[in-house]
Amino acid sequence: MLSQRRILLAVTGGIAVYKSLELLRLLKKQGAEVRVVMTQAATAFVQLLSFQALSGHAVHCELLDTEVEHAMGHIELARWADVFVIAPATANTLAKMAHGLADDLVSTLYLAANCPVYIAPAMNHVMWNHPATQANVKILQNHGINLISPESGEQACGEIGVGRMAEPETVCQRLISDLTMPQSLANLNVVITAGATREPLDPVRYLTNRSSGKMGYALALAAQKAGANVTLISGVTQLKPPANCNFVQVETAEQMHAAVFENIENCDIFIGTAAVADYRPVVCGGEKIKKNADQLTLTLQKNPDILADVAALKTPPFTVGFAAETNDLEHYARDKLTRKNLNMIAANWVGRAEGGFERDENALDVFWQDGKKTLPMTNKTELACQLITLIAERFDAKTKI
């Protein structure tokens, strides 16, 4: 059920607008309170009055509406919402959202909203597959939006391909499963490290690695959905941190180490997903290194192992590590589990065609002292929810001993 959830539904202009009437009906049936906004183009497909009658509230499509600004203006509407759903989302609206344009009510609400955002795109399959649309969707995913992927089949134009808006039942089910995830981490403090660290060589150069931070950010979001208070300590990434988490931006391994230990008191669960640089240059001069010599030798100093240091605390939190391996996955993961004294380790293959660094999908083999579970290849959002559920189970098992 979605009882008392405040859902802001934005309807943009495509033939799939009729599906949103059904979506509105389903959401209301689930107990949600729904307010609808529309683009001008959407009103060409279905009358504003239809949404008004079904939602039981005034429906607006103008940004500068004198009638509205003394009632619920766009900022109030954005603050009112627990969740913002854009369905159908046209290529035009996705492009505006991706690039921060705010020339109508829907795109302005997107910029003003600080709640979770869902998009259910709908368009012709060639438009969906166009590099411009795909790039915009990637940008939006990096903003942290939740994509409800379009489906394949016959389209309104008679062509066949991927681009049909997901069925209203699918959209509704996704919202139910995300918004009503079991509160298995309710009131627990979870600290997560994410992304790559940067180790400066001189004022312009640094050593780093391929980690995008996607897994760590997805875990932060999943832990929040499970009711945790989340602190996300992140290296530099292209990603938008989840709203309402304690976000700490760092650059180097030493800064990450310091930030973790500033936030570790009262931490119940620590998850180290960051790809922390193992070494840093011993010297980082104030001046740019010149290319005079044919060879240049860098001397590197070992960085502190954040995860091992957390696990070595007198009363450590439940500690979860990650292991990215190119071979002998279980052997190396179990070795790390024991050596670093962890409660759990999530291992994944890197350097293969699927999954790993920079990808949107991944698979994990998770190990603990007397057990193992495989989480098969899926998108990192879903994988993160599965891993959080598993962590909650193991955390419960340990605290009940």
CA-to-CA separations, 20 to 50, 109, 275, in angstroms, rounded: 11, 18, 42
Return the number of the residue (39 or 303) whose C-beta is nearest ligand C5P: 303
Nearest 10 degrees: Cα torsion 249, 85, 131, 220: 30
Percent helix, strand and coil across the chain, each to the nearest 5: 35, 25, 40
Return the number of the residue (198 or 336) whose C-beta is nearest ligand C5P: 336
Rounded CA-CA distance 262/252 in Å is 15
Rounded CA-CA distance 212/235 in Å is 9
Strands (E), 122-171: 146-147, 151-154, 160-164
Nearest residue to 85 via CA among 163, 156, 152, 2 = 2
DSSP character at residue 196: B
* Sign of the dihedral through C-alpha 352, 222, 108, 119: positive
The answer to whether the CB of 191 falls within 8 A of the CB of 233 is yes
CA-to-CA separations, 214 to 94, 126, 351, in angstroms, rounded: 21, 28, 17
* Contacts with ligand C5P, 35-74, as mask; x by CB under 6 A: ----------------------------------------
Return the number of the residue (145 or 391) whose C-beta is nearest ligand C5P: 391
The answer to whether the CB of 175 falls within 8 A of the CB of 83 is yes
Q: Interface with ligand C5P includes 276 (CB under 6 A)?
A: yes
Buried b / exposed e over 295-304, threshold 16 CB at 10 Å, is eeeeeeeebe
The SS3 of residue 325 is strand
Rounded CA-CA distance 27/46 in Å is 19
Rounded CA-CA distance 138/166 in Å is 18
* Contacts with ligand C5P, 304-323, as mask; x by CB under 6 A: -xxx-------------xxx
Structure tokens at 130: 């166009």
Stretch that binds ligand C5P, among 6-14, 46-54, 75-83, 270-278 (CB under 6 A): 270-278
Catalytic residue among 61, 115, 157, 172: 157
Return the number of the residue (9 or 274) whose C-beta is nearest ligand C5P: 274
> For 199, phi and psi rounded to 5 degrees?
-110, 105
DSSP character at residue 82: S
Stretch that binds ligand C5P, among 41-49, 55-63, 106-114, 272-280 (CB under 6 A): 272-280
* Residue 385 designated active-site: no
- How many residues bind ligand C5P (CB under 6 A)? The answer is 15
Least distance from ligand C5P to the Cβ atom of residue 196, Å: 10
Stretch that binds ligand C5P, among 80-88, 128-136, 274-282, 377-385 (CB under 6 A): 274-282
Q: Interface with ligand C5P includes 336 (CB under 6 A)?
A: yes
Return the number of the residue (36 or 274) whose C-beta is nearest ligand C5P: 274
Least distance from ligand C5P to the Cβ atom of residue 262, Å: 15
* Contacts with ligand C5P, 220-259, as mask; x by CB under 6 A: ---------------------------------x------
Return the number of the residue (51 or 217) whose C-beta is nearest ligand C5P: 217
Least distance from ligand C5P to the Cβ atom of residue 266, Å: 20
Least distance from ligand C5P to the Cβ atom of residue 14, Å: 43
Q: Which residue in the set 39, 107, 303, 319 belongs to the binding site for ligand C5P (CB under 6 A)?
A: 303
Return the number of the residue (2 or 271) whose C-beta is nearest ligand C5P: 271
Least distance from ligand C5P to the Cβ atom of residue 68, Å: 48
Return the number of the residue (20 or 197) whose C-beta is nearest ligand C5P: 197
Helical residues (DSSP H) of 250-305, grouped into ranges: 253-262
Least distance from ligand C5P to the Cβ atom of residue 264, Å: 12
Q: Interface with ligand C5P includes 269 (CB under 6 A)?
A: no
* Contacts with ligand C5P, 180-209, as mask; x by CB under 6 A: -------------x----------------
Which residues of this chain interact with ligand C5P, rule CB under 6 A? Answer: 193, 253, 272-274, 276, 278, 303, 305-307, 321-323, 336
Active site residues: 157
